[in-house]
């Protein structure tokens, strides 16, 4: 995840606040994970094991005008993305799905050091208010403090633009607001907040790539042709072997 707030203060900032590396097997047709994901997010610590339910990086082949459960990496769980409309980009029909995630306490989902923090609060000393003569002396003394636990809260709205025939996601419009709040949900400190979408040039490339894939019937036909050629080669090989054997016997 790139550093959102640093980028706002300095457009040329290239530092990373943190980086998550996910590794898992995915079914190309359904877009669903075939294995438990291995998540590496902190150096010299063991990778976390995360179950990915529903879609994430891809929608199913021949996507339908319905609602799909789409994985959110911050919450490590899926939330529905409902079909909204058909749109046309560069003459190609796409389906738009919208996912809305209301603020959720991330710490309530899984344990992670990044999900909580402590806020130090200075507590006014009533003695300084009641005894004006000792005010100067009290000001020099360190003020008592208490620590309050804060919890990371995450909310997001995403529009997925999907090439329906292949299920490829060719564009994403994303608004994310992460912040720290009390256990009652009172917002105390901003975290990472941003609005983002793919560049037009990248969208064009992805659409071109999606359109270049053959349709499902063609893929099935090619598969049968390959199998047929393989079977024919096998039969010819067997004929050659047995035919040669028979000739050898005739000699």
Most confidently predicted of 20-24, 112-116, 138-142: 112-116
Question: How many Cα neighbours within 13 Å face the side chain of 84?
Answer: 14
Confidence of residue 142 (pLDDT cuts 50, 70, 90): low
Interval 179-205 mean pLDDT:
94
SS3 content of the chain, % helix, strand, coil (to 5): 30, 40, 30
- Longest CA–CA span in the chain (Å) reads 127
Phi-psi region of 233 (alpha: psi -120 to 50; beta: other; left: phi over 0): alpha
Q: Which two tokens stand for residue 87?
A: 């749109």
Does the structure show a pLDDT above 80 at 72?
yes
The model's pTM is: 0.72
The string of pLDDT tens digits covering residues 41-54 is 766 677 888 899 99
Q: Which of 28-32, 90-94, 162-166, 222-226 has the lowest mean pLDDT?
A: 222-226
Interval 213-220 mean pLDDT:
66
- Find all residues with CB under 8 Å of 20, minimum gap 6, and list them: 1, 39, 40, 41, 73
Interval 72-100 mean pLDDT:
96
């Amino acid at each position: 995840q790139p550093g959102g707030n640093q980028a706002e203060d300095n457009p040329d900032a290239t530092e990373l606040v943190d980086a998550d590396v996910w590794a898992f097997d995915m079914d190309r047709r359904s877009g669903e994970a075939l294995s438990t994901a291995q998540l590496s997010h902190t150096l010299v610590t063991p990778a976390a094991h995360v179950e990915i339910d529903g879609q994430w990086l891809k929608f199913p082949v021949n996507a339908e005008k319905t609602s799909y459960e789409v994985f959110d990496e911050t919450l490590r769980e899926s939330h529905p993305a409902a079909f909204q409309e058909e749109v046309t980009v560069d003459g190609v029909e796409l389906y738009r799905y919208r996912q809305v995630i209301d603020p959720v306490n991330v710490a309530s989902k899984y344990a992670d050091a990044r999900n909580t923090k402590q806020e130090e609060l200075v507590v006014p000393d009533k003695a300084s208010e009641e005894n004006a003569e000792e005010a100067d002396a009290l000001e020099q003394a360190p003020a008592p403090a208490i620590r309050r636990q804060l919890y990371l809260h995450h909310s997001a709205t995403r529009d997925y633009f999907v090439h329906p025939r292949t299920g490829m996601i060719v564009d994403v419009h994303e608004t994310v607001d992460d912040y720290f709040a009390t256990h009652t949900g009172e917002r105390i400190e901003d975290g990472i907040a941003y609005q983002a979408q793919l560049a037009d040039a990248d969208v064009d490339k992805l659409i071109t790539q999606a359109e270049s894939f053959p349709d499902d019937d063609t893929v099935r036909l090619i598969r049968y042709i390959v199998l047929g050629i393989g079977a024919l080669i096998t039969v010819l090989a067997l004929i050659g072997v047995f035919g040669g054997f028979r000739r050898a016997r005739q000699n």
